[in-house]
Amino acid sequence: MAHFAHTSTTATLAFLILLLLYSSESILSDEHGLESSPVPDSDVDLLEFPLNLEYLEAEFFLYGSLGFGLDKVAPNLTLGGPKPLGAKKAKLDPFTRDVIEQFAWQEVGHLRAIKKTVKGFPRPQLDLSAKSFADVFNLAFGRVLKPPFDPYANSLNYLLASYLIPYVGLTGYVGANPKLQGSTSKRLVAGLLGVESGQDAVIRTLLYEQAWMKVHPYDISVAEFTNRLSDLRNKLGKAGLKDEGLVVPKYLGAEGKISGNVLAGDEYSVAYDRTPEEILRIVYGSGDEHVPGGFYPKGADGRIAKSYLQNE
């Protein structure tokens, strides 16, 4: 009887050990993405569309901090897409350069993560020239800035130019998340959203610290620059208030109690959402998802973006 009890206990322990090992492997697989559930067909387009912005961010941050882009650090991710126009190394102070380089490598990781989940598409033609940014700033102010705004001239200019980028991506992820069906898709977008939001928060914080500083040689404050850029995105997006500068009327601040606005959010301080159509209107600079331009002179890629270009 004692022998039977010993054998039974041994068998039970062995079973529990195997169960724990299986559970540990499952947890590790989930945590590190070694295994994932299939991506529903309905999710594919929504996961591929953000590649347009991730390519833009990766190239702008890589060139700005290092002076070269994906063609040098990860050519396989471009899938043979054309080299960006006008991108170059910015004149950054050591601290800003370090932060921007961190962003750059994060964006490379984002491209890998998306392409690991869906097929993706080649890097679209990007226009990251100083003129392309100057056109956006001119549009924001409703006049031609003299001299033309140059994002690569110094750290402050570069941060103001960077203000244009991660926020648009994060609102897109917020908008896409409730439309996704698969758990793998939701996990990916939640993870991308977390880091994009962090990048935007860092950029806004660094600018907020200098909110009332005048941007040389325009004699216009940093806060006013951000307000104008946010107003422009609202206008181009054509979907109401989804963008806010660093200093807002108190009624638009958190709980209607404060004008400082280091993080943008709705009346409940919840992140705004945007659709792919709204994003295309903004990044094209045309206010029309059918009319490419701005940072995407030949239009964005992927089925969603191409569906609007084909209607022309």
Q: What residues are paired with 127 via a beta bridge?
A: 85
* CA distance linking residue 187 with residue 231, whole number of Å: 32
* CA distance linking residue 229 with residue 166, whole number of Å: 13
Q: Where are the beta strands (DSSP E) in the chain?
A: 214-215, 220-221
Query: What parts of the chain have a pLDDT lower than 50?
Result: 1-35, 312
pLDDT at 37: 79
Provide the whole-model pTM.
0.88
pLDDT at 26: 39
Q: Judge whether 233 and 168 are in contact, CB under 8 Å.
A: yes
* CA distance linking residue 186 with residue 30, whole number of Å: 13
Backbone φ and ψ for 169, nearest 5 degrees, come out as: -65, -40
Tokens of 12: 């039970």
Residue that is written with structure tokens 């941050």 in the block: 61
* CA distance linking residue 115 with residue 171, whole number of Å: 21
pLDDT at 153: 98
pLDDT at 36: 62
> Which of 266, 291, 273 lies closest to 281, judged by CA?
291
Alpha helices in 67-93 (DSSP H): 70-73
* CA distance linking residue 306 with residue 283, whole number of Å: 15
